[in-house]
Amino acid sequence: MNKKGFGVIAMIVVVLIVLGAVWYFKPSLVPSSETYCTKNGTNSKLALSEAKSIAAANSECANLSATNENWCDEERGLWRLGLNVSDVEMCFGAECLINVETKQTEILWMCGGLLPAA
Q: What is the pLDDT of residues 35-58, one digit of tens each?
A: 999 999 999 999 999 999 999 998
Mean model confidence pLDDT for the chain: 82
φ/ψ of 111, rounded to 5, equals -125, 155
Q: Phi/psi of residue 72, each to 5°?
A: -100, 130
Among 4-18, 32-46, 98-112, the range scoring the smallest mean pLDDT is 4-18
78-107 pLDDT, tens digit per residue, is 999 998 887 677 788 889 999 999 999 999
Q: In sequence order, which residues have a C-beta less than 8 Å from that of residue 94 and are 6 or more positions away?
A: 64, 82, 83, 85, 88, 107, 108, 109, 110
CATH 3.10.450 is the classification of domain 36-111? yes
Q: Considering only residues 86 and 28, tell me which one the structure prediction assigns the higher pLDDT.
A: 86
CB-facing half-sphere around the CA of 20: CA atoms within 13 A? 6
Least confident of 11-15, 24-28, 44-48: 24-28
